[in-house]
Amino acid sequence: MKCIRKILPIGLMVLSLVGCNESEKDTGCCKDDYSQVTDAELDHLGITNREYLSAASKRALKWPKHGNEWFIEFEVYDLKGDLAYEEGVVRRDPSAIIKYDGKYFVWYSRSTGEVDGFAGDIETEKVFPWDRCDIWYATSEDGITWKEEGPAVLRGAKGEYDDRSVFTTEIMVHDGKYYLCYQTVKSPYVVRVKNQVGLAWADSPYGPWTKSKEPILSPADNGVWAGTEDNRFNVEKKGDFDSHKVHDPCIIPYNDKFYLYYKGEQMGEEITFGGRQIRHGVAIADNPKGPYVKSPYNPISNSGHEICVWPYNGGVASLITTDGPEKNTIQWSTDGINFEIMSSIPGAPHAIGLNRTADNEKEPTEVLRWGLTHEYKDYNWQYIRGFRSWRKTSHTAIGEESGE
């Protein structure tokens, strides 16, 4: 009888095996040698008989021996000042936080007006909350009360690649220079529009900012739409994982190069057993301004949504949220490309803006101890909030004394 195995792609930490039935077990098919597994390991996992192992038990026996240093929980809270909720104004997708001249700085997408969707006049109306955005920034002395300072990067003139919206930005500081990467959309904003990634740089976080004349990253061009209807699910060929959109860019210096992490959306995107078909990729450059070349190993995740990455212990850590079979995990890579799951967490706030002033080498999740996020009041109005996290090391029931 033929033995059936399902093997996940290289780079994942979990090997998934389909359990054998009794007749297969008698023939030795699908039989793995677990003789080296200690009784203590079996006891730790609650396995009492090594001769009868379900697929779940086999997976558990192959888990890496991680501790709980990557396991955390979150809570969110309201901010004060100009980033508090304001009806009629959208503030969303906060960047990472940096500190300059004794103040914290953050950049974010800002727009006004309600969402009309694709049903109206797409030349004059607003199809998404992140449509018709400019990038603004705010400062704070304590990370709680924020002052809105004004626009940093504006949409381009009509006909330019960023004339419709600039949004979802991230900040990088390198060699005394400041770099903002961000999503761009060119009008008209139709369902099948393919957005790109732009870049701006300055000598000070106050600006002025100089924008790249051309995008630094674009979707793959190997997908094929089917028909002429403006329908993103109707395709003849789906193409690469990023054949439709390149979203949520974030550049970090790594290994004497610049790694641009981004979210890819595929033409004909499907709903799978993990939800939306969303994956991450990376493009690498020798210079902060590019050119950026996509890694041949893309995609580098099977899941995720907004990019949230930070250097740690010679590698790169990534918080994977919202979409896909590996959502709500923290992953780590020794080379910035091949990521393994380090913990599965209860969930995380949306669109996290990391605190880049943190000592990210203190412990794996130190950079997540506090930062910024956004929240929906409803589909029209979003605002920026704060978050904090803590390591979870034990479970105590209400009224029970802690075991720590």
Please give the pLDDT value at position 71. Answer: 96
pLDDT digits (tens, 9 = 90+) for 5-34: 333 333 333 333 334 444 444 433 445 678
**For residues 341-354, average pLDDT:** 96
Place of tokens 């780079």: 11
Nearest-angstrom CA–CA distance, 385 and 371: 9
Please give the pLDDT value at position 6. Answer: 38
Please give the pLDDT value at position 180. Answer: 99
Tokens describing residue 109: 């997408």
Closest CA to 79 of 375, 386, 372: 386
Please give the pLDDT value at position 161. Answer: 98
What would you measure as the largest C-alpha separation in the chain, in angstroms?
74
Nearest-angstrom CA–CA distance, 181 and 195: 13
pLDDT digits (tens, 9 = 90+) for 71-84: 999 999 999 999 99
**For residues 367-389, average pLDDT:** 97
On the question of pLDDT at 4 being above 70, the answer is no
**For residues 339-350, average pLDDT:** 95
For 21, 147, 175, 202, 349, the CA distances from 208, given in Å and listed in that order, are 68, 18, 17, 6, 31
pLDDT digits (tens, 9 = 90+) for 297-308: 999 999 999 999
Place of tokens 């029931």: 397
Mean pLDDT for all residues in the chain:
91
Instruction: Give me the DSSP letters along 31-55.
Output: ----TTS-HHHHHHHT---TTS--H
Please give the pLDDT value at position 28. Answer: 38
Task: State the virtual CA torsion across 161, 165, 171, 172 in degrees, nearest 10.
Answer: -10
> What percentage of the chain reaches a pLDDT higher than 70?
91
On the question of pLDDT at 316 being above 70, the answer is yes
Please give the pLDDT value at position 31. Answer: 55
On the question of pLDDT at 346 being above 50, the answer is yes
Q: Is the pLDDT higher at 235 or at 122?
A: 235
Q: How far apart are the first and last CA of the chain?
A: 51
Q: Is the pLDDT higher at 25 or at 273?
A: 273
pLDDT digits (tens, 9 = 90+) for 90-108: 999 999 999 999 999 999 9
User: Which domains are assigned to the chain?
Assistant: 1-65 (no CATH), 72-391 (2.115.10.20)
pLDDT digits (tens, 9 = 90+) for 255-266: 999 999 999 999
On the question of pLDDT at 373 being above 90, the answer is yes
**For residues 364-392, average pLDDT:** 97
pLDDT digits (tens, 9 = 90+) for 317-335: 999 999 999 999 999 999 9
Please give the pLDDT value at position 357. Answer: 97
Closest CA to 309 of 362, 270, 256, 365: 365
Nearest-angstrom CA–CA distance, 318 and 332: 6
Strand pairing report for 80-81 and 145-153? parallel
pLDDT digits (tens, 9 = 90+) for 165-221: 999 999 999 999 999 999 999 999 999 999 999 999 999 999 999 999 999 999 999
Please give the pLDDT value at position 197. Answer: 98
Element (H, E) at 226: none
